[in-house]
Amino acid sequence: MKTSAKMIIVLTVIATLSGGILSFWNGITAPKIKENRLKVLKKAISTVLPKYDNYEELKLSEEITLYIGKTLKEETVGFAFKAKGNGFSPDLTLMVGILPDFSALTGIEILEQTETPGLGNKIEDDEFREQFVGLLMGIEPNIAVVKNRKPKNPQKGIQALSGATISSKAVVFIIIEQVKIVQNLYNQKMAGI
């Protein structure tokens, strides 16, 4: 048998065994990964919503699910949803909490990010995220991002992270754009359109 034929047979056997092992391992780990993602999702929802007793899911589109926080008396306390976009690096995913009338944010949580370590990844810090609690959205949200100082009106602006203004602005842009989309889809859903 020629050397090239032996190499092809050996490589085929190795590739088949490797694929089989990876497939088997994926079957073992996939349920655990799914369970962990669900835990992270539930924790993010509870972080961004005001105190609630349970939540319901409302599918607004293929990509957007609205999590509706409710009290035991079935009163809606807020909405939560995933918001995706680009930061300094691509793939920035947030969980956004907002009041039921879309007037103010109740919190944000960073689910996924690939921002610069030591700079942009500070968007995950409590000090940065807490600036969004109570931020007014209004009809035409205009959230100011200021550098090197606190905003004059903390209900209409945030202080950018030092050295990570692009990441700070990206979070604000993603929130503004996604709130508009979610509010529009929600209003259409409630109107039966």
Could you give the CA distance from residue 25 to residue 28 in angstroms, rounded to a whole number? 5
Mean pLDDT of the region 69-90: 93
Q: Whole-prediction pTM value? A: 0.83
Query: Does residue 24 carry a pLDDT above 70?
Result: yes
Distance of CA 118 to the CA centre of its chain: 20
Q: State the DSSP code for 162.
A: T
21: in domain: no
32: in domain: no
181: in domain: yes
Query: Does residue 141 carry a pLDDT above 70?
Result: no
CA distances from 128 to 29, 47, 61, 121, 150 (A): 34, 14, 30, 11, 12
3: in domain: no
The SS3 of residue 69 is strand
The SS3 of residue 40 is helix
Query: Does residue 138 carry a pLDDT above 80?
Result: no
Query: Does residue 153 carry a pLDDT above 90?
Result: no
65: in domain: yes
106: in domain: yes
Query: Across the chain, how many H-helices and E-strands are there?
Result: 3, 7
Domain total of the chain: 1
Q: Which helix (H) or strand (E) covers residue 66, if one does?
A: strand 65-70
113: in domain: yes
Angle at alpha carbon of residue 20, lines to 19 and 21, rounded to 5°: 95
Contact 55/68 with Cβ under 8 angstroms? yes
134: in domain: yes
Concatenating the DSSP letter of every residue in 70-128 gives E-TT--EEEEEEEEEE--SSS-EEEEEEE-TTSSBEEEEEEEE--PPTTTGGGGGSHHH
% of the chain beyond a pLDDT of 70: 97
**Residue pLDDT, tens place only, 87-131:** 888 889 999 999 999 999 999 999 999 888 888 899 999 999 999
- Sheet of strand 76-85, all strands in order from the earlier edge strand to the far edge: 54-59, 65-70, 76-85, 92-98, 105-112
Q: Give me the pLDDT at residue 66, please.
A: 97
Provide the domain limits for residue 185. Answer: 49-191
